[in-house]
Amino acid sequence: MSPALNPGAAPLSRRAVGDAVDRVRGTFTFAVDRRIEGTLHAVAVRSVAPHGRITSIDAADALAVPGVVAVIDGSHVAADDGISPWYGENRADQPVLAIGKVRYVGEPVALVIADSRATAEAAAAQVWVDIEELPHVVDPVLAGAPDAPQLHDEWPNNDSGTWTLVHGDAERAMATAAHVHTATYTSPAQNHVPMEPHSATGAWLPDGSLEVWTGTQSPYVVRQRLATMFRLDPDRVRVRGDSLGGAFGSKIDLRLEGLVALASRAVGAPVRMELRRDEVFQSASKHAATVTMTTGVDEDGLLVARIIDIVWNSGAYALQTPRSSRTGMIRSPGPYRIPHVLARSVARYTNTVPTGPFRGAMTGQVCWAHESAADEIAAELGVDPVEWRRRNLLRDGDAFATGDVMHEMHYVDLLTAVDDALTADAPPTSSTRTRTRRRGRGVAAVLKTTRTPTRSEAQVQVDAEGQVAVRTSAVEMGQGAAASLAEMAARRLDMPAEDVSVSWPDTGWTPFDQTTSSSRTTFATGLAVERAASDLRACIAQQVAQPWGITPDQVVHRDGCVSSPGDPAQRMTYADVVRSSGAGELVGTGRYETPPGAGRLDPETSQGNVSVHFHQGVVGVEVEVDTETGRVHVLRAHGATYAGRLIDAERARKQIEGGMLFGLGQAVMEETLYEAGQMINPNLSDYQIPSLLDVPLTSSTVLSDADPDAEPHGIGESTVPPMAPAVANAVHDAVGVRIRDLPVTAEKVLRALREKQADDRKN
Amino acid sequence: MTERTESRPVEVAVDGRTRAFDVRTDETLLETLRDRCGTTSVRYCCGIGVCGTCTVLLDGDAVSSCLLLTVMAEGRQVTTPQGLAATSCSAISSAQQAFVDAGAFQCSYCIPGMALAAQAAIDRDPEASVDHLVDELAGNLCRCGSYPQVREALERLVSGPTDDTATTPEEVHQ
């Protein structure tokens, strides 16, 4: 039986610890490997115009291709009373297929459904779409002009989210500052480049319910979107996930799921989609941003005020932008003690690929600004940039820009660890200078809030065979979530983690989890799993305590067995306990939810408790700049973060060092480029990501709290945003030029060097 | 409208087993392996032969299966990552073992192709240095940033199998 048509089947689960051989041989499977019998294949026909009205769609030639079953477009969707085609987290502005209008090159206009992907692909090229082009805009600053092309009639001025943060009186305080620094920092649209492309299969079951297999980070969000789109009770939508071959934010919220559900509804059979790489580039983007930051300091270099203006490029649709642009704005002052902060943020629709969260969401753009500014300010004051940060970084008891009184602040220790690592075992910079190659060092720090409010639920169960299973809707995508959750449950149950299986998400079986993003899983889902495991442990103890004549808390748990402390004869495996209980299985449940009111902010001033805790990262790099070519080579990088209660040091190291290497691409290589409203480099030849040859020597420090009751903190993003400003600061240290526009390419460095030489000659 | 691309019978040895297919003449070996053979270790990523994720061995040489038409593999030996050690008595090859020992993966989507490329390189030149292997793997991309552990794996591969008493790299540095 094909699994899609078997709604009773239990969720997939696997051993999460000890899967290395499968992963290296390639027998470990991903969402894209999920194949369902009898499946048809859909390929999207995509807009070739950045902005325009659809005047006609002629599918006759495509329908005549042998093997093509159907072609559907926005007119079919709009005419179907069973469908609410518009979706989005905060505002339903995005159609599942373009209806009447296209807003970016790559927007799905029609779906060709055929018996094979190759046939659908060939036929898609024969769907003739006529578009009456409208003026387009790709620059979010220009999109705010009064005469700019308007993308959405319902959302004037291309506004996809306007926010302010008011802490103290920044304008008045700025006037009293001894020294004021202002600069503008820009960062481009970039692509997540998950190695595994997006894929999904949708099937309508005979009872009218919908089942979707998909590579998603947020199964419960997808379930809600599909329920709304197809006017179903959420319980009638089952979203089944799998491991992801990387995601980095690109697989959050609705991606292909609406399309495959639509296609399956049209043809009455399961329909699968899998994206080509160019389509992955056309599906989600990091927000480009322009950040202007004005900073005032006193005679001692202490921060007194900061005023920040941010313009985000939302892309053609909002998705999460109305919420996330505020989150980015809140992080924009940086991890510093600043008595007066004013931040103003606006996101603008443009005719570019829609945006989504990007590892360290909305933080890289603002960290680029505040950490570049930190070095510029220190230089103007004649202070060492590490020392300037040490004076101004947040410490316990300081107020953040939201008014939060900070706790568990470890920035100074993290900075010291990074500074020590950079200055140890290295030749002094001066002795390594050659005629054309100069070395320099730079550091950068970041503060990131975690998702607040948030909720996670978990079950941990043991069956009569003694099989222990963790059930959550967390998604394993390379960050090691499944292994961490297995270990957290195993420790509570005093058993080997290798014997614990972890479910893959399946909303038909696995309990609610908000999303696998924002570095929240080890923290929020992890705490829910620990509580579920403790609940199961108590349940097991309860079963044996009375027959043994002891109290439940006297029961000893060890190696998957329970025993009575005084009587060696009284010993049972967990399997024995289940069998003797008469129940088929014993189940513990657990839940984590942020405290009431957490995350609620004043709508005008953004004051309040923004986050239950704060992700803290510091990165330091040493670079070598070739003054003849401008090429920047990052020689080494040290990352430091605070993990709260540490679950696994090796996985933490991979996140910290892998995060820096992810950030390295954004620092020196990556930018999606537009010409005439069209992305011109949607491939891995023209859009390069770091290879083994680009990789610096990496090392890391993870600070943790030995208290067994301490909260674990997420660490998967804290070293991504600081990488770019650390590199730019190191370039400045090496050759004295300041790049304020990412990425720090050889061309920009060379141009800046030539301008500097010309200026030096003049002076 | 156009006719469907014509099909042609082809015989390819996949992981030591001769397979016969009727394939479109424009079908890639990647498609054949994934869609007809159910191979999971050969994976699509870039589609243009720059990322290494779809690497297979063709008569022992590492090639990108996304760029190779199946009809061109007629009569040749194709080895996939999951079939690499199929003919030996151990479950995995020496390069794969080095990747396992170094924990050289995060999401692991790219890793089978990378370990296969490393195996091909060390088989061709058993005296290869780590730097040489790094050059050989320049065309195998990883987005999670597992490169430090990949480098450790290559160091292990070059230094040969280690016994349980061997010092860990961390201890060596101290």
pLDDT tens figures, A476-485? 999 999 999 9
User: What CA–CA distances, in Å, run from A434 to A623, A625, A736?
Assistant: 14, 11, 16
The pLDDT assigned to A568 comes to: 85
**Of the candidates A542, A560, A593, which is a domain's last residue?**
A593
Angle between helices A526-548 and A481-493 (to 10 degrees): 20
Distance CA A722, CA A713 (A): 18
User: What CA–CA distances, in Å, run from A122 to A68, A168, B25?
Assistant: 10, 61, 14
The pLDDT assigned to A429 comes to: 46
Question: If you average pLDDT over every residue of chain A, what do you get?
Answer: 95
Domains of chain B by residue range: 8-83, 94-168
Count CB atoms within 10 A of the CB of residue B59: 12
Q: SS3 for A423-456, per residue?
A: HCCCCCHHHHCCCCEEEEEEEEEEEEECCCCCEE
- Cα A399 vs. chain centroid, distance in angstroms? 27
The answer to whether the Cα torsion of A707, A712, A717, A721 is positive or negative is negative
Whole-structure pTM value: 0.96
Whether A527 and A492 map to the same domain: the answer is yes
- Cα A318 vs. chain centroid, distance in angstroms? 16
Q: Among candidates B108, B115, B50, B123, which has minimal Cα distance to B83?
A: B115
Nearest to A24 among B24, B96, B134 (CB): B96
User: What CA–CA distances, in Å, run from B77 to A243, B59, B80?
Assistant: 31, 5, 10
User: What CA–CA distances, in Å, run from A57 to A64, A72, A308, A470, A538?
Assistant: 15, 10, 46, 49, 63
Whether A54 and A12 map to the same domain: the answer is yes
Whether A345 and A491 map to the same domain: the answer is no
pLDDT above 70 (res A430): no
Amino acid identity for residue A114 in this structure? A
Residues A610-632 have a mean pLDDT of 97
Q: Of A68, A195, A688, A694, which to mutate for an interface test with B (greatest number of B Cβ within 10 Å)?
A: A195
pLDDT above 70 (res A27): yes
Test B80 with A26 for CB contact under 8 angstroms: yes
Distance CA A241, CA A30 (A): 9
Q: Looking at chain B, which residue has its C-alpha nearest residue A30?
A: B109
- Report how many Cβ contacts below 8 Å link chain A to chain B: 172
Q: How far separated are the first and last CA of chain B, in Å rounded?
A: 69
Residues A290-302 have a mean pLDDT of 98
What SS3 class is residue A589?
A: strand
Quick one: CATH architecture of B8-83?
Roll (3.10)
Domain boundaries, position A122: 3-134+198-274
- Judged on CB neighbours under 10 Å (0-12, 13-18, 19+), B120 is buried
Q: Among candidates A532, A534, A526, which has minimal Cα distance to A715?
A: A526
**Of the candidates A560, A593, A626, which is a domain's last residue?**
A593
**A564 within 8 A of A550, measured Cβ to Cβ:** yes
The answer to whether the Cα torsion of A367, A370, A376, A378 is positive or negative is negative
Q: Of A14, A21, A23, A25, which to mutate for an interface test with B (greatest number of B Cβ within 10 Å)?
A: A25
Test A20 with B2 for CB contact under 8 angstroms: no
Residue A688 domain-assigned (yes or no): yes
Q: Looking at chain A, which residue has its C-alpha nearest residue B101?
A: A20
Tell how many helices (H) and how many strands (E) occur in chain A: 19, 31
pLDDT above 70 (res A145): yes
Residue whose token pair is 């705010």: A144
pLDDT tens figures, A233-282? 999 999 999 999 999 999 999 999 999 999 999 999 999 999 999 999 99
Whether A206 and A352 map to the same domain: the answer is no
pLDDT tens figures, B29-57? 999 999 999 999 999 999 999 999 999 99
Residue A649 domain-assigned (yes or no): yes
Per the structure block, which two tokens stand in for A589? 């449940």
The pLDDT assigned to A566 comes to: 86
Q: What is the dihedral of CA A134, A138, A144, A147, to 10 degrees?
A: -30
Whether A618 and A473 map to the same domain: the answer is no
pLDDT above 50 (res A548): yes
Name A620's bridge partners. A443, A638
The rounded radius of gyration (Å) of the Cα atoms in chain B is 17
- Judged on CB neighbours under 10 Å (0-12, 13-18, 19+), A8 is exposed
Q: What is the dihedral of CA A543, A546, A548, A552, to 10 degrees?
A: 70
- Give me the helices (H) in A189-250, please: 219-229
A residues 613-632 closer than 8 Å to B (CB):
none
Whether A446 and A459 map to the same domain: the answer is no
User: What CA–CA distances, in Å, run from B42 to A213, A361, A733, B83, B95?
Assistant: 21, 31, 44, 11, 17
Residues A546-560 have a mean pLDDT of 95
pLDDT above 80 (res B172): no
pLDDT above 70 (res B87): no
Whether A613 and A533 map to the same domain: the answer is no
**A319 within 8 A of A94, measured Cβ to Cβ:** yes
Per the structure block, which two tokens stand in for A6? 């078997």
Angle between helices A364-381 and A321-331 (to 10 degrees): 20
Test A197 with B96 for CB contact under 8 angstroms: no
pLDDT above 50 (res B164): no
Distance CA A483, CA A624 (A): 38
Nearest to B108 among A28, A66, A193 (CB): A28
Whether A477 and A582 map to the same domain: the answer is yes
A residues 52-111 closer than 8 Å to B (CB):
61, 64-67
* The CATH homologous superfamily of the domain defined by B94-168: [2Fe-2S]-binding domain (1.10.150.120)
The rounded radius of gyration (Å) of the Cα atoms in chain A is 27
**Of the candidates A570, A593, A616, which is a domain's last residue?**
A593
Test A195 with B142 for CB contact under 8 angstroms: yes
Test B109 with A248 for CB contact under 8 angstroms: no
Test A196 with B115 for CB contact under 8 angstroms: no
* ω into A743 cis (within 30 of 0): yes
The answer to whether the Cα torsion of A55, A60, A61, A62 is positive or negative is positive
Per the structure block, which two tokens stand in for A36? 């369902």
Per the structure block, which two tokens stand in for A242? 């799998």
What are the DSSP E strand ranges found in A169-324?
179-187, 199-204, 210-214, 237-240, 271-274, 289-297, 303-315
pLDDT tier at A8, thresholds 50, 70, 90: low
Residues A519-524 have a mean pLDDT of 96
**B147 within 8 A of A695, measured Cβ to Cβ:** yes
pLDDT tier at B167, thresholds 50, 70, 90: very low
Whether A98 and A229 map to the same domain: the answer is yes
- Judged on CB neighbours under 10 Å (0-12, 13-18, 19+), A415 is buried
Q: Of B147, B149, B170, which to mutate for an interface test with A (greatest number of A Cβ within 10 Å)?
A: B147
Test A25 with B41 for CB contact under 8 angstroms: yes
Whether A348 and A465 map to the same domain: the answer is no
pLDDT tens figures, A687-703? 999 999 999 999 999 99
Measured between beta carbons, which residues in chain B are less than 8 angstroms from residue A692?
A: 134, 137-138, 140, 142, 147, 150-151
According to DSSP, the β-strands at A614-626 and A108-114 are unpaired
Whether A337 and A349 map to the same domain: the answer is yes
Q: Of B1, B2, B42, which to mutate for an interface test with A (greatest number of A Cβ within 10 Å)?
A: B1
Residue A652 domain-assigned (yes or no): yes
Per the structure block, which two tokens stand in for A385? 């940039």
Whether A662 and A628 map to the same domain: the answer is yes
The pLDDT assigned to A433 comes to: 55
Q: Among candidates A296, A364, A350, which has minimal Cα distance to A159?
A: A350
Residue whose token pair is 């994720």: B53
The pLDDT assigned to B162 comes to: 58
- Is the ipTM beyond the 0.90 threshold? yes
The pLDDT assigned to B1 comes to: 43
Residue A485 domain-assigned (yes or no): yes
Test A277 with B135 for CB contact under 8 angstroms: no
Q: Looking at chain A, which residue has its C-alpha nearest residue B82?
A: A25
Q: Give the CATH number for residue A529.
A: 3.30.365.10
The tally of domains found in chain A comes to 3
A residues 661-700 closer than 8 Å to B (CB):
661-662, 683-685, 689-693, 695, 698
Residues A198-205 have a mean pLDDT of 97
pLDDT tens figures, A37-85? 899 999 999 999 999 999 999 999 999 999 999 999 999 999 999 999 9
**A167 within 8 A of A401, measured Cβ to Cβ:** yes
Test B147 with A692 for CB contact under 8 angstroms: yes
pLDDT tens figures, A494-507? 999 999 999 999 99
